[in-house]
Amino acid sequence: MTTTSTTRRSTTISPFVKKLYFMLEKAHAPALGWTTDGLGFCIYAPDELVSTLLPKFFHHNKLATFQRSLHQHGFHLRRDDGLFLEYAHVHFQRGNIPALHRIQDKKTSKDALPAPRRAIVDEIEHTIVDIKRKLHQAQRATDDMVSFLAQNTQRADDDAATRAYLACHSWMDALVLPLAASCSSPPERCLAY
């Protein structure tokens, strides 16, 4: 059985994407890291990225070249607030290696879309990443609420048990103490009756 170049391309991971993924997984440097939801990555220290990580993984030390490659592979700059740069791609997620083969270089892809359609696809992918991020945040909020309710339910159960214990003892005190006070003999004999 022969495979076409399109099939082969769709099952192999682009070298750039593979290096990027493993750089994020292996590099324990403060220069970059995954976002907390795993749907993108952040560059925290561009100078350190350029001086240490890019030469090690990509054999160059130019941030502009790295950013151009990100753009060529469909990554979107999601945040640039002066503190860090955040990039995302709809198929680039921490722990989802099987989806990486879907990220291809736009320039070498034979099925590249014309610019107007590419812009629409880019916008759809951007929206999907936003939706995934919101779902992830909603899931975290739901998990936090479940945890909070479970703790409060346990506290309520503990409080109810304490109240029942105290009520039982106050009932016993109300019954036994007057009986013991009215008894003229030692308490052991009174309780024996």
**pLDDT tier at 142, thresholds 50, 70, 90:** confident
Query: Which 3 state secondary structure label does DSSP give 6?
Result: helix
Query: Which 3 state secondary structure label does DSSP give 42?
Result: strand
Question: What is the Rg, in whole angstroms, of the alpha carbon atoms belonging to the chain?
Answer: 32
Q: Does residue 128 carry a pLDDT above 90?
A: no
pTM of the model: 0.56
User: pLDDT tens digit string along 19-62?
Assistant: 999 999 987 778 899 998 898 999 999 998 999 889 988 988 89
Domain 5-110: top CATH class: mainly alpha
Torsion region of 184: left, alpha or beta (phi above 0 gives left; psi -120 to 50 gives alpha):
alpha
pLDDT averaged over the chain? 79
d(Cα 43, Cα 184) in Å, to the nearest integer?
86
**pLDDT tier at 8, thresholds 50, 70, 90:** very low
More confident residue, 58 or 11: 58
Element holding 147 (H helix, E strand): helix 115-182
Q: Does residue 4 carry a pLDDT above 60?
A: no
